[in-house]
Structure 1
Amino acid sequence: MAATHRLINENQTTGIAIQDWTVLSHKTSILNSQEIDTATAELGIPIPEMIFGNNFLSIEHKSGFKLEFKALPALAMVDQSSKNSDLIKVSYAREWFDKRSMANQEHITDVVKPYDWTYSTKYNGTNLGSEGCMQFVSATNETIDIEQLKRPDPILFYGENILFEDELADNGTAVLTTKVRVMPSCFFILLRFFLRVDDVLFRIYDTRIYHRFGTDTVIRECSSRENSYRDTRARIPRSKGDDLSLLLDSNWVSSQLPERESVVEVARLQ
């Protein structure tokens, strides 16, 4: 029997109520100057050029479990030392040298700031559930049902949200986004941090959340992928010629990057 559902559309919040779950996506404008000052003071680092600090994606179950995705908690996990950016500079020294002339080396030094200027974050959501609600633990044999997600099932609700974006002083882009789709049989969320440092590297941190209605499990898969810009560019089909537009497509880039780490966790509904 098809699952009954109710679509939600209130002010700047859209979503769906289905099978004891409520999925909400709130989309609004970037932070104003006062909010930016407050966020900067709280985080202790300069915030990205475009920060949608009031945007969020949330999933909540009637049992009290609630998981939310927002920009500021994600930025709170950014390395506030220069360790990460120093590693980029050392690991990809040849690319930096090729990219900048010797006369412009001072600019490279400026890029390595006393915090991770790439805004790389392995944030995988904020647990806002009531005390005693389910927690994610390492899984042994649980996996996301990819074949089910490939089926041409009707999409009852779809939402896409930008949490923050920065052009890295014209050196590339760092962007954190959420996507959710709800079908009659399941829901699937992708939280993606996508980093492109021009002529240097690509990095992707993905968090996938999957639940099949009728089961008592929610699966979370966190993965990281990374490779040099040069190697990734070399994978563009020759038929594309000088067209580099694929390098702007995070889905294509993700399919080309080697996986460095993958962790699967599961939470059980009470």
Structure 2
Amino acid sequence: MAFELIQEGDRRLGIVRGIKINEWTITSKSAPICNSAEIDSFQKEYGIPPPEMIFGNNRVAISKGGMEYFWTAFDALALVDTSESSSTRVKVAYATEWTRNSNHQNVKDVVKPYDWTYSTNYKGTSNQADWERVDEPVINVDRLKQREQIVFYDENILYEDELADNGTAMLSVRLRVMPTCFLVLQRFFLRVDNVLFGINDTRIYHEFGSPFLMREFTSKQASYQSIRQKIDGNVDISLLNDANWVASMIPEDHQLLERHRLRV
């Protein structure tokens, strides 16, 4: 199948890489971290301190005809809980446990009227509203397991925070394009040391020639110790920073699952 690779822009304003294939345009823009003026603007608009590293000018997008689906840090952070009642939610209860059971005396004012873990159930931004809920699987796992040429691949970080050196929260987007299909994985990965792991995944999948764009969203959590004990016999605990490994260790019965499709 014929395709055209895209590369344009510069390091100062951002480099756009991508591919045009079978009427689809798929792009990933990587730009420098937000500067102080952009961070001030963010804090005024959203009313919360920004993550330590926010790539507000990064953007991943897929489009065909008039349909566009894209991912940005600001749209994701707009879904972080900022309500006054956020201090009573489960995530903040975890924060109480964290401060009580740890020796991290440098952590102050953990309980704030916003979700300090920057957790988001963002699924991307779509200019189409008529997504249809479906019950059957929407990702062709067997096809993705086949050996097939990858004609375009990229990984793009939207934001990251080290939670006062006591964990990590990161939102990233990976995309893989083959001659017969493409897959986009948007992942929010959360690790709060000695407390919990959380993973929110959105997968966008399309087989060329199919009339549908597929979306699958999963959200799951597990206690820190339940994952940590799986490597007790291994002195190398770097696996706890590996989102793919952690995701494979959380049982499926611990997850929320939603599936949708869009006619394209």
Report the TM-score when normalising by structure 2.
0.91
| Rounded Cα–Cα distance in structure 1 between residues aligned with 2:3 and 2:230 | 43
Aligned equivalent of 1:78, options 62, 74, 80: 80
Contact 2:184 2:205 survives alignment (8 Å): yes
- 1:43 and 2:46 are equivalent in the alignment: yes
Contact 2:87 2:112 survives alignment (8 Å): no
Closer, same or farther: CA 69–146 of 1 in aligned 2, 3 Å:
same
1:112 paired residue number: 111
Letter in 2 for 1:73: D
Closer, same or farther: CA 110–66 of 1 in aligned 2, 3 Å:
same
- 1:59 and 2:62 are equivalent in the alignment: yes
Root mean square deviation, CA, Å? 1.9
Larger deviation, residues 78-87 vs 254-263: 78-87
What are the ranges of 5 or more consecutive residues in structure 2 without an aligned counterpart?
A: 10-14
1:201 paired residue number: 196
- Deviation sequence 1:54-74 (CA, Å, 0-9, x none): 001000002x11000000000
2:166 paired residue number: 171
2:12 paired residue number: none
In the TM superposition, what is the alpha-carbon distance from 1:244 to its structure 2 partner? 0.7
2:249 paired residue number: 256
- 1:99 and 2:102 are equivalent in the alignment: yes
Matched positions, count:
256
1:124 paired residue number: 123
Contact 1:89 1:96 survives alignment (8 Å): no
Contact 1:211 1:217 survives alignment (8 Å): yes
In the TM superposition, what is the alpha-carbon distance from 1:99 to its structure 2 partner? 1.8
2:5 paired residue number: 7
In the TM superposition, what is the alpha-carbon distance from 1:84 to its structure 2 partner? 6.3
| Rounded Cα–Cα distance in structure 1 between residues aligned with 2:236 and 2:58 | 33
Letter in 1 for 2:73: A
Matches within 5 A, 1:112-191: 112-128=111-127, 135-191=130-186
Contact 2:157 2:172 survives alignment (8 Å): yes
In the TM superposition, what is the alpha-carbon distance from 1:243 to its structure 2 partner? 1.4
Contact 1:14 1:26 survives alignment (8 Å): yes
Aligned equivalent of 2:26, options 23, 27, 41: 23
Closer, same or farther: CA 188–84 of 1 in aligned 2, 3 Å:
farther
- Deviation sequence 1:149-186 (CA, Å, 0-9, x none): 11110000001000000111112110000000000000
- Residue 168 of structure 1 aligns to a residue whose secondary structure is coil
Contact 1:85 1:112 survives alignment (8 Å): no
In the TM superposition, what is the alpha-carbon distance from 1:108 to its structure 2 partner? 5.7
Contact 2:96 2:111 survives alignment (8 Å): no
Aligned residues with identical type, % of pairs = 46
- Residue 48 of structure 2 aligns to a residue whose secondary structure is coil
| Rounded Cα–Cα distance in structure 2 between residues aligned with 1:202 and 1:185 | 34
